[in-house]
Amino acid sequence: MVRKNLQEEVKRLFKTLNKTIVFVTHDIEEAFHMATRIVLLNKGTVEQEGTKEDLIFRPKNDYVASFFGTKQYGAYLNATKIKDVTIFENGEQFDNALPIIADENTLMDGIRLMTEFGVEKLNVFNSSNVFCGIFSLSCIYRHK
């Protein structure tokens, strides 16, 4: 819990100061959570730089592909928020038959909730309790 609070404080400082911060970590999930851009090094050489989606879905070489294999896809699902992939489409409406999830929850939270309720979609609301759209697995595929 302390580490998570520290991460949130660093992110808050980043937004407040509006400066670039270099954050070094060996924890992939932490990198996905903290960074807007990630640099993957191999023995001091930059293998690839980009967003978490770039590294997972568009690896530049075999080293990057093997480093960000299926194990790291779980880290991506745990670190990416539903609001980052949900796109509000014109005409999309709240569906009373679907469960509700907050846009601050992770993709993994959404997948768990869909599994728990046996549904393929979720209503998404923001912190102001405003309907933001419908989340489904296709949101993840469209976003990559």
pLDDT of 54-102, one tens digit each? 888 888 999 998 888 766 778 888 888 999 888 776 667 888 899 999 9
Shared domain check, 8 and 72: yes
Digit-coded pLDDT (tens) for 127-137: 999 998 999 88
Range of the domain at 13: 2-79
Shared domain check, 102 and 70: no
Shared domain check, 64 and 105: no
DSSP string covering 92-125: ----TTS-EEETTSBHHHHHHHHHHHT-SEEEEE
Shared domain check, 138 and 87: yes
Domain tally for the chain? Answer: 2
- Please, which pLDDT band fits residue 28 given cuts at 50, 70 and 90? confident
Shared domain check, 75 and 14: yes
Shared domain check, 116 and 105: yes
Tell me the pTM.
0.62
Query: Which letter, b or e, does each residue of 125-136 get, where b requires 16 or more Cβ atoms within 10 Å of its Cβ?
Result: beeeeeebbbbb
